[in-house]
Amino acid sequence: MVPGPPEWFGRTFSTPRFEPYLRASSGDATSAWRLYRWNIEVSEAFYGPLHCLEIGLRNAEHDRLRSRYGRADWWTVAPLRQHDSCKITKALEDLRRKGVRAPSADDVVAATTFGLWVSLLSRAYDRHFWVPTLHRAFPHYSGGREPLRDNLQSMVLLRNRIMHHEPIHHRHLSADHAKIHRLLGYLQPPVSTWLKGFDRVPGILARRPVKARGDESA
């Protein structure tokens, strides 16, 4: 029997933070404590697949846009929406705050957010980005831009929940996991194969606390 949360838990993690786990466990503190621990484990396991997807996406898109505009800092001449241009500006400001006085294009790309690269697949960029070049960033994909963008956006939301230490136990995590591998397959199938060699998500999903199994949703 796994004990309920110890007395120090409320001081360290807060009672409000524990509340969603209690609700998901029908008020059973012991089950909620088990679920809280499992949520940490599965969040940690998703780091590897999300790491591969985020870096793979930004590098694939960056390569295509660099080729289209003939320069590594393509964002200086590309018709970015203000919202996305501000993300580039923030990346530059963050680098300078860290003491990088003359950031290279690679520095900027590494400092940008996952959300920026998914945003570049928005309908507003069909004429300038998707049709002429960005579709080539996904050589193993034959569908439309919108479903691809929607699937990637759902992974941004998952990534943000994990990085902000929020519950993800209520999600259909097996579907999320399959989606990451599918998206990697659109970019570079060998990456998905390589990832499977150390991907811990399936094993952790298999030992999800029983009382919490019924709360999965997409």
Gap between the Cα atoms of 138 and 149, Å rounded = 12
Gap between the Cα atoms of 67 and 120, Å rounded = 16
- When the pLDDT of each residue in the chain is averaged and rounded to a whole number, the result is 93
Digit-coded pLDDT (tens) for 16-48: 888 999 999 999 988 999 999 999 999 999 999
More confident residue, 204 or 1: 204
The pair of three-digit structure tokens given for residue 138, joined into one six-digit string: 């996904």
The pair of three-digit structure tokens given for residue 185, joined into one six-digit string: 């397959």
User: Please, are residues 156 and 118 in contact by the beta-carbon 8 Å criterion?
Assistant: yes
What is the pLDDT at residue 211? 58
| 217 bridge partner residues | 171
More confident residue, 129 or 18: 129
What is the pLDDT at residue 12? 85
Segment among 27-36, 50-59, 96-105, 131-140 with least mean pLDDT: 27-36
List Cβ neighbours of 159 (8 Å cut-off, separation of 6 or more). 50, 54, 114
What is the pLDDT at residue 210? 67
How would residue 7 be classed by pLDDT, with cut points 50, 70 and 90?
confident
